[in-house]
Structure 1
Amino acid sequence: MNKKFSFLLVLVLALSTFLAACSGGGEKAGSDTKKGSSEGKSADAKKEQVLNLIATSEIPSMDSTLATDSVSFNVMNNVYEGLYRLGQDNEPTLGMAAEEPKVSEDGKTYTFKLRDAKWSNGDAVTANDFVFSWRRAVDPATAAEYAYMLYDVKGAEEINSGKAKPDTLGIKAIDEKTLEITLKNNIPYFKSLLSFATFYPQNEKFFKEQGKNYALEANTGVYNGPFTLSDWKHEQSFQLKKNPTYWDNAAVKLETINFNIVKDTATAVNLYETKKADRAALNAEFVDKYKSDKNFGTSPDTSVYFLRLNEKNKVLANRDARKALDLAWDKKSFVDVILNNGSKPAYYLVPDKFAVGPDGKDFRETNGDLGKLDVEEAKKLWAKAKKEAKFDKVTLEMLNYDDDNSAKISQYLKEQLESNLEGLTVNIKPQPFKQKLDLESKGNYDFSFAGWGPDYQDPMTFIDMFVTDGAHNQMGYSNPKYDKLVADAKGPLLSDLDARWKALLEAEKILMDDAAISPMYQRGTAFLQREYVKGIVEHPFGGDFGYKWAHIE
């Protein structure tokens, strides 16, 4: 996910909240801890079902068709619901679908019966709500970055490229409660896709009533999930309330979830200490202080952070220059000293312990590490790049988030790169989350600190990011062989899963050999959480956290 994105885990470093998708995501989107609500509730009210959390960023978007980041996806995961949602065991469980679908023999046609569910304004959730939403997502006039997520649906790619009309998409409302979906290929991860935000329904009548104001405020959105967005003070706080019209309302214990937007870890920890927050993410300086605390915890994650190297820059267009940048900084020391939170150095794109192949082996186990620290080689490649790209000194601007943890990360990288690559000056450009995403989307940067959380449980959710002109490529990278491997893995190789897996493995190797990105780390989280907070579900892909089953004990 700019994500993606991806369904991930509970609160992380403030910097981890910034993922693109699931894409992209600090602490995980939305799971940071929070101060008392705008109503002044405190964490002492343990008998009340009120959870106080901290978010490290404003919500960039509440429109499920347009959202691209983990902060938005985390909130959406709790106020909206698709045909499926990820359950307590992180397997897709029935949401708006009343029962498992009927599937045609060729695996390409799914017929769903919808349950009797309502939107928060009392309107019934109908099959047309899915038809409207999906057609809107692939309509080129919408310009949705995540339109490609629907390309497995028949006609989606043709519509999105302007070669067909939206009403030819392979989705049909047979009646108000019967939905038929026709796929281009029989894909193995379709269920997990259907729990992702781009596949959520949208109330067409309400959407048209709101016009350009749709989902810009709490009261210009309508919700069909366990909670509603009841209050939204931009750049300050937001609040979720239990949704009385939700079909499974009896399973929801929390009455209120308050999020306070705090970008500074020391402030977040102070809110926790003063009992105004029930959870706080910790950065390196607080881990040693609190690691013996009974409420201290760490959690692994499937989000991967990396440096985007924009090839629109004439220096970064040179492979040797990019390779030098990747080899010139110490990822292990970075993780051990700067992060110190359970993260691990990444020499890859697809995370460890995320996806298992037809041979039963983890993707990471098969491909191994695809990089290393080698300062001497970096210096040689940098000298070579100077001759090839005709420069002696160069200033590169690093686009970054504006929270305190990200500032420490950028200072570390600046020192390492400037020390090891003669003639390089790194200027740091911190930006609020939403503005940073916009600059990346427009390609207005030299290199940037970025991250990606998976949107569904398959390596493709990482690999297809970097196809030529892909919506999330955002750095001008292009390799025809890479593109072909991705296209084959999405099409003809779906009938040969062994060959498909090998294509994905090879694609990652090409990406790393081209030094298209400089991988940084696979996120881990360190946090403090009150002992009475129970039942938060950490998701390995899609929206980071599920609060449907959370409660105060």
Structure 2
Amino acid sequence: MRKSKWMMLLVLSMVLSLFLAACGGGDKKPADQGAGDDTKKDPEVTQEEQVLNIIDSAEIPTMDSIQGTDAVAFQVMSEVFEGLYRLGENGQPVEGIAESHTVSEDGLVYTFKLRDAVWSNDTPVTAKDFVYAWQKAVDPASASQYAFIMGDIKNANKINAGEITDLNQLGVVAEDDKTLVVTLERPTPYFLSLTTFATFLPQNEEFRTAQGENYGLEVENLIYNGPFTLTEWKHEEGWVYTKNEKYWDKDTVKLDTINVKVVKDPATAVSLYETGQIDRVGLSAEYVDKYSADPNYRTYGEPTLFYLKLNQKNEALANLDIRKALNLAIDKEGLADVILNNGSKAAYYAVPAEFVTHPETGEDFRAKYGDFNKTDKEKAAEHWKKGLETLGKDALSIGYLTGDTETAKKIDEYIKNQLETTLPGLTVELQQVPFKQRLELDDAMDYDIQNAGWGPDYQDAMTFSDLWLTDGGHNKMAYSNPEYDKLVNDAKTTLAGEPVKRFEALQEAERILLEEDAALVPLYQRGSAQLWQPYVKNVYVNSFGPDYSYKWAYIEGKAK
């Protein structure tokens, strides 16, 4: 998700502080199945205390859905807010505030009928709440980094670029309180899944305006229309979800409380699980072998990528040979298999494997070009020497922005060692900061190299490809290539109705990004090793958007 992910960012995965965007899942099962019970139980029969205890590795950066950019915020927003649709079982969109929808024959006009629903302050949720929030998201004055995800809506890009100043020209209209009409620029097959994403959430204008600059800063500065509300938020310590008794589908929600603690140290997290204080834990490499035979152990593959962003505002990183050297210098297999040891695999690409397939042949996106910039330390040293000669230097010191969890520190010490031992004269200066601060530094482009990640916002290669458009909201590394821009923009516009050409244009764009420009350094496609208590049932794990869905979860079979 940087959704513009991204970046993506995985609740309970102990590498979350590396995530810049996004969200991620994969071929994951609901918790009740993953624990070894493939038969879903009837949640109506259990009378047990419905309390789930979990951890996250970072503070919530924002609760303003217009400003959200990361996995932590998106996860929380998905539980306490609700849009037209939400992600249900197997990552499929299910009705949320929308009771139903119709689509015009040309695929351009979606008409949503809204159900009777209220905010937690008893104010009705209306079509105007969606119009207000969506207009605010594309308004240049909001500076939303995710405004681009609205780009399929008529005039969204022109408004965001300042070419149209009248927000009412956005293709979204409240015909009445219960009817929302959305007009698109072009047919968008994945539009319904887009409506599950945080930037498409509604906001109540009257409440938000009344809160002013305090909106979203504390629980009392928010109103909720989702399955849960935030009843406690201790910054940097944790938060508490409580069942929303005013939610339109409250009878489906079985959990009364979800307690979330912020824990950055894997050893502390495992200890909390072993002592029964939390119900799920992500395992860092040193714990995988110990627990791999545990009946409650699971590994997941995910369409979430981690990579080094190379800020070309830095003179050295603007040099192609320097970038190629950095790409070739790191043993990514060792990173995935030894340092992570959790089902992650080395990545040599910018669109993940086993995520999307060719619309005609069914081949994976990776089939055409495969891997780019495979590790070659000798070639890395050659490019490094050439780059230094061009720069007129014999040594370089480069800053490396990263997270502050224990797992992040191990990963980045490994990368620092790989780079410094392969590239003579290089000094890598680690800057390990809290997740929220790293997002701020990324937004300001105040870094040289940054360890970042992205999980998909929707199931299409575009969710990764448009990250690197010139001046894109999540580019933030001064990368620009007109040919790349044209391919990606054509895939958004003129090729929208030609799925084969569109798919192949995005494959070619990726080749330019990595083979020709070495614009970033892919590291690994994330896997996750976790322990789940078997009494946690029906938690849906998503392949895009928020990592988990708790609306349908419940507790059953917990020892007294």
Tell me which interval the TM-score lies in, with the shorter structure as reference length: over 0.9
- The match for 1:256 is 257
Describe the superposition over 1:142-186 as per-residue Cα deviations: whole angstroms up to 9, x where unpaired.
Answer: 111111111111111111112222121111000000011111111
Check conservation: 2:7, 2:70, Cα contact below 8 A.
no
Per-residue deviation, residues 293-339 of structure 1 (Å, max 9, x unmatched): 22211111111000001111111100110010010110001111100
Aligned positions of 1:143-222 closer than 5 A: 143-164=143-164, 165-222=166-223
| Offset, 1:11 | 4.7
Tell me what 2:132 maps to: 132
Residue type matched to 2:357 in 1? Answer: V
1:5/1:24 contact within 8 Å kept? no
**For residues 392 and 190 of structure 2, what CA distance do their matches in structure 1 show?**
47
1:341 aligns with 2:342: yes
- Indicate conservation of the 8 Å contact 2:85/2:96, yes or no: yes
Q: Which deviations, in whole Å up to 9, do the C-alpha atoms of 1:182-205 show, x marking residues without a partner?
A: 111111211111110001111111
Whichever residue aligns with residue 121 of structure 1, its letter is N
Pairing 1:548–2:556 present:
no
- Please say if 1:521 is aligned against 2:524: yes
SS in 1 for 2:141: coil
1:3 is displaced (CA, Å) by 4.9
Aligned 8 A contact 1:9 1:545 in 2 = no
Structure 2 counterpart of 1:495, one-letter code = G
1:226-265 counterparts in 2 under 5 A? 226-265=227-266
Structure 2 counterpart of 1:497: 499
Give the distance between the partners of 2:369 and 2:201, measured in 1 at CA: 34
Aligned to 1:506: 508
Identity %: 52
Q: State the alpha-carbon separation in 2 of the partners of residues 367 and 528 from structure 1.
A: 36
Distance between the aligned counterparts of 1:114 and 1:416, measured in 2?
55
The answer as to whether partners of 2:328 and 2:380 remain within 8 angstroms in 1 is yes
CA RMSD of aligned residues (A): 1.8
What displacement does 1:8 show? 8.8
Secondary structure of the equivalent of 2:112? strand
Residue identity matched to 1:541: F
Q: Is the 8 A contact 1:7 1:545 kept in 2?
A: no
Q: What is the aligned partner in structure 2 of residue 322 from structure 1? A: 323
In 1, are the aligned partners of 2:536 and 2:553 still within 8 Å (CA)?
yes
Residue aligning to 1:282: 283
Partner of 1:36: none
Deviation per CA, 1:341-393, whole angstroms, max 9, x where unpaired?
Answer: 00000001111111122122221233311221100110111111011122111
Amino acid at match of 2:173: K
- Counterpart CA distance in 1 for 2:230 and 2:391 is 51
- Rounded to whole Å, the distance in 1 between the matches of 2:385 and 2:137 is 46
Q: For residue 369 of structure 1, what is the aligned residue in structure 2?
A: 371
The SS at the match of 2:495 is helix
TM-score under structure 1 length normalisation: 0.94
**Contact map agreement 2:4 2:146 (CA 8 A) in 1:** no
| Deviations 1:440-467 (CA, angstroms, capped at 9, x unpaired) | 1111111010000111110000000001
Closer, same or farther in 2 for the Cα pair 1:24/1:362, shift >3 Å? closer
Q: TM-score, normalised by structure 2?
A: 0.93
Q: Which amino acid aligns with 1:266?
A: A
For 1:223, the equivalent position in structure 2 comes to: 224
Cα separation, partners in 2 of 1:18 and 1:220, compared to 1, 3 Å: farther
Aligned residues: 535
Q: CA deviation at 1:89?
A: 2.0
1:409 maps to which of 405, 408, 411:
411
Amino acid at match of 1:102: T
Equivalent AA in structure 2 for residue 137 of structure 1: A
Distance 1:60 1:283, change over 3 A: same
SS in 2 for 1:98: strand
More deviation, 160-169/524-533: 160-169
Please say if residues 24 and 451 of structure 1, whose CA atoms lie closer than 8 Å, have aligned partners that are also in contact. no
- Structure 1 counterpart of 2:395, from 393, 396, 400: 393
Pair 1:531-2:534 in alignment: yes
List alignment gaps of at least 5 residues for structure 2. Answer: 32-45
Match for 1:190: what amino acid?
A: F
Give the deviation of 1:217 after TM superposition: 0.8
Aligned to 1:35: none
Conserved 8 A contact 1:326-1:518: yes
The corresponding residue for 1:42 is: none
Report the CA distance shift for 1:280/1:111 in structure 2 as closer, same or farther (over 3 A).
same
Separation (CA, whole Å) in 2 of partners of 1:336 and 1:152: 39
